[in-house]
Structure 1
Amino acid sequence: MVQAVGTDAWAAVRDRTARLFARGDAERHTAELARLEETARELTDQADCSTALVRWESSWRARWEMLLDSLPEAELPLFAVGLMQMISSAGQRAGSTSISAGDHGLAVSGDVSIRAESGSLAGGVVAVEGGVSLADPFEGRSRPQ
């Protein structure tokens, strides 16, 4: 959630996060929006926000954990749907932003496949926002002897 600050996804993530934490309480919703705006302000107002980023990520991680631990089991499925909607919304907006790479770089919005043929070696250096999945290069083919 903190990673969304300053991106096109921030407004949607902020609003959905406030709704999830407020759980229908209007006063709490206002307080959560204020806390989220404080997070964004502190992260965008500083030239070097690395310390603030670590602090806010830690703070929000703890708050999410406490919220999830406090939910009655019967509310978990509906809460999970709201959380997945927030994550999906952030991902869709992040996917619509522009990407770039420096000299000799490759910028990709989507999947990348690096393959070695005939027993050769292939590799790449990867900077990823999100996850990485590595597949067996010989999947479906016989391994060279």
Structure 2
Amino acid sequence: MLDQTLVALASAAGAAVASAAGTDAWQGMRQRVARLFGRGDGAAQRFHLERLDGSVAELERAGPEAREQARARVLAAWQTRFHDLLDDADDEDRGELARQLDELVRYGQRPFGGMSAGDGGLTVEGTVDIRADRGSAAAGVMGDVTIGNPQRPGPGHN
């Protein structure tokens, strides 16, 4: 039986999944949850990715009037899954799972799944490939840029 802290953590993790479903944070949340449940087993990870996709599909199928009820079902299902995950773990694994669930909840509380940028900033999750050639310049975020040959130093400049 889980103590109140772990029950609350499982509930918060379920809420984080339900809140992220269908938002910009979903892909990051989806991957983290699948890794947590998969625990290094690729087949288990794929199984949980399908479950997560089913949660989003349930929300998408629900019309606007039924969306909150669908979200409540998704929340309850994931709370139960997280609770069972913790309950089935031995004491040693339970501590590590609790730490990972806490990180998952924190991830869900950050804007856009944990990434943010200030004014003029660039936020990317994944691979970014920015290239420049033939004397051009490229950057994700760029201030004043001058392209060309530098001026020759005048007298007294070495």
Matched, 1:18 2:42: no
Q: State the Cα distance separating 1:41 from its structure 2 match.
A: 1.3
Unaligned runs of 5+ in 1: 98-145
Aligned mates of 1:55, 1:92 — CA distance in 2: 23
Counterpart in the other structure of 2:67 = 49
Note if contact 1:21-1:29 (Cα within 8 Å) is conserved in structure 2: yes
When normalised by structure 1's length, the TM-score is 0.59
2:106 corresponds, among 88, 98, 109, to: 88
Q: Distance in 2 between matches of 1:20 and 1:93?
A: 21
1:81 Cα offset (Å): 2.4
**Poorly superposed stretches of 4+, deviation over 3 Å:** 94-97
3-state SS of the aligned residue for 2:110? Answer: helix
What is aligned with 1:38?
54
TM-score (norm 2): 0.55
**Letter of the aligned partner of 2:74 in structure 1?**
W
Q: Which has the higher helix share?
A: 2
Distance 1:59 1:70 in 2: 16
Structure 1 counterpart of 2:84: 66
Q: Considering Cα pairs closer than 8 Å and 6+ residues apart, tell me whether 1 or 2 has the greater RCO.
A: 2
Match of 2:148 in 1: none
Unaligned 5+ segments in structure 2 are 1-16, 117-158
When the two chains are superposed, the root-mean-square deviation of aligned CA atoms in Å is 2.0
Deviation track 1:16-41 (CA, whole Å, cap 9, x = no partner) reads 11111111111010000000001011
